[in-house]
């Protein structure tokens, strides 16, 4: 079934005249119009999708395709503005919000020929890593519909994993691309803060918000990054793990981590070593104190951005997400300023300590997907699982890194490769080799 092929592979078939973008879009739209699709897509954009697919079809026949993803259909998380179509960020607070223009990254991807299928469900205002949303919909986990899909880019991940899009674009502030990717056996790329434009993207924490792809293959992520930047894809040929220096970050990433994620992670590391990578293990002293700053830095900014909107209609919000925002109200300005000053010092120390490694490795998520219904009915369970789910991914956000998560081969587990800021091209080459080693 071509709906389950990766984005780059579909692009090659379109270029070879073996896949018609119009027929492919119709297949996606038909599948997404099902009851299951309604739990994944907040709204489809059929007129736009058909128009863009027809234009790609004509370019393919004339031999003037705009690039390797011309005609490939992707989904967009419902916080990317889309002209004339509601963008509500999974919240009834934004019901009926219809932007006049596309987000810059959507506009760039459209210029490169990609087809916009629609907007996917997400955690309310992107402020949770679990992916449950009683206000709109909770997408089903690909492994079991009773399990949480991961968030906040929940529908984005599931749209790809269940064959309702060739790839997806999400956002990542504390793990929102990587958690749903790991829990649905996908590849996810958290880009460096500032690498991709967030203009026209509904914000959560502007100092941490990033845009990133969720896809079946590393190659797909590389092409999606390129089209959103308006440039050519980096050269991924002849990538190898031979001689790569990798550091397994011990300590905090393994505290309370459950057996299955560790098993998948360790098996993946062993395969990297077999492929020629030199793996070292060690803790870094600045990680724990930097991570302790999370409560001082994330929630106050999020509440500062959304306070007036939330407090004007607080009953419209899912209570547990509303309280997460309100948790930022009690942080003083002095503590916030000092927190950022401390973080800059910790970042410099981390970058210096890891400069000799090609990547730092951690289990993407310390836990497997929890039961979705229990999350909605058990507040303590929601809070504990959410904090633990996002702990390892938040390391990449706190230290300003680019991060790639790969499926380990064990269901719903991922291994993350964390690299220095703005080193996405090198990370993607490393990721291609790591993906090959994992088979």
Residue 1 has pLDDT above 90, yes or no: no
What is the reported pLDDT for 266? 98
Average pLDDT of span 115-120: 98
- Choosing from 82, 91, 171, 176, the catalytic residue is 176
DSSP 3-state assignment of 402?
strand
- Structural element, H or E, at residue 254: none
What is the reported pLDDT for 271? 98
* Average pLDDT of the chain to the nearest whole number: 98
**C-alpha to C-alpha distance for 70 and 8, rounded to whole angstroms:** 10
Q: Do residues 31 and 40 touch, judged by C-beta distance below 8 A? A: no
**C-alpha to C-alpha distance for 399 and 402, rounded to whole angstroms:** 9
How far apart are the two ends of the chain, measured CA to CA in Å?
Answer: 21
pLDDT tens, residue by residue, 280-315: 999 999 999 999 999 999 999 999 999 999 999 999
Catalytic, 176? Answer yes
- Choosing from 75, 91, 128, 152, the catalytic residue is 152
Tokens of 224: 């999606």
Tokens of 310: 């939330």
Residue 379 has pLDDT above 90, yes or no: yes
pLDDT tens, residue by residue, 309-323: 999 999 999 999 999
pLDDT tens, residue by residue, 181-216: 999 999 999 999 999 999 999 999 999 999 999 999
Catalytic, 77? Answer yes
DSSP 3-state assignment of 353?
helix
- What phi and psi, each to the nearest 5 degrees, are found at residue 122? -155, 165
Catalytic, 152? Answer yes
Q: pLDDT class for 391, splitting at 50, 70, 90? A: very high
- Choosing from 77, 119, 190, 217, the catalytic residue is 77
pLDDT tens, residue by residue, 214-242: 999 999 999 999 999 999 999 999 999 99
pLDDT tens, residue by residue, 16-61: 999 999 999 999 999 999 999 999 999 999 999 999 999 999 999 9
Q: Do residues 354 and 287 touch, judged by C-beta distance below 8 A? A: no
- What phi and psi, each to the nearest 5 degrees, are found at residue 39? -85, -10
């Amino acid at each position: 079934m071509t709906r389950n092929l990766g984005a780059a592979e579909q692009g090659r078939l379109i270029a070879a005249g073996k896949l018609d973008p119009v027929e492919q879009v119709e297949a996606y739209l038909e599948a997404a119009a099902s009851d299951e699709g309604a739990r994944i897509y907040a709204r489809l954009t059929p007129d736009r999708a058909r128009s863009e697919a027809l234009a790609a079809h004509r370019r393919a026949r004339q031999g003037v395709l705009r690039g390797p993803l011309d005609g490939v259909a992707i989904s967009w998380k419902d916080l990317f503005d889309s002209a004339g179509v509601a963008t509500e960020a999974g919240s009834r607070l934004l019901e009926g919000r219809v932007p006049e223009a596309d987000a810059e990254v959507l506009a760039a991807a459209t210029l490169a020929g990609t087809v916009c299928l629609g907007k996917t469900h997400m955690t309310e205002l992107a402020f949770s890593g679990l992916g449950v949303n009683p206000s709109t919909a909770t997408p089903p986990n690909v492994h079991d519909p009773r399990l949480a899909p991961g968030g906040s880019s929940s529908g984005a991940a599931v749209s790809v994993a269940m064959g309702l899009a060739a790839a997806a674009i999400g956002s990542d502030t504390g793990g929102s691309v990587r958690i749903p990717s790991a829990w649905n056996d996908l590849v996810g790329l958290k880009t460096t803060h500032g690498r991709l434009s967030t203009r026209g993207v509904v914000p959560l924490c502007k100092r941490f918000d990033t845009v990133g792809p969720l896809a079946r293959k590393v190659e797909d992520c590389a092409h999606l990054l390129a089209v959103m930047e308006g440039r050519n894809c980096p050269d991924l040929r002849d990538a190898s793990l031979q001689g790569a220096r990798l550091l397994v970050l011990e300590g905090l990433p393994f505290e309370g981590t459950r057996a299955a994620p560790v098993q998948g992670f360790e098996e993946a590391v062993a395969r990297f070593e077999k492929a020629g990578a030199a793996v070292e293990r060690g803790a870094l002293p600045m990680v724990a104190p930097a991570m302790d700053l999370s409560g001082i830095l994330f929630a106050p900014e999020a509440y500062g951005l959304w306070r007036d909107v939330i407090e004007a209609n607080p009953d419209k919000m899912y209570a547990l997400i509303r309280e997460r925002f309100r948790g930022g109200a009690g942080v003083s300005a002095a503590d916030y300023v000092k927190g950022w000053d401390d973080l800059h010092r910790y970042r410099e120390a981390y970058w210096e300590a890891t400069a000799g490694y090609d990547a730092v490795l951690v289990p993407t998520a310390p836990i497997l997907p929890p039961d979705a219904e229990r999350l909605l009915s058990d507040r303590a369970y929601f809070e504990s699982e959410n904090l633990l789910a996002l702990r390892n991914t938040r390391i990449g956000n706190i230290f300003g890194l680019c991060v790639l998560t790969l499926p380990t081969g064990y269901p719903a587990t991922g291994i993350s490769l964390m690299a220095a800021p703005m080193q996405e091209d090198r990370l993607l080459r490393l990721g291609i080799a790591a993906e090959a080693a994992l088979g």
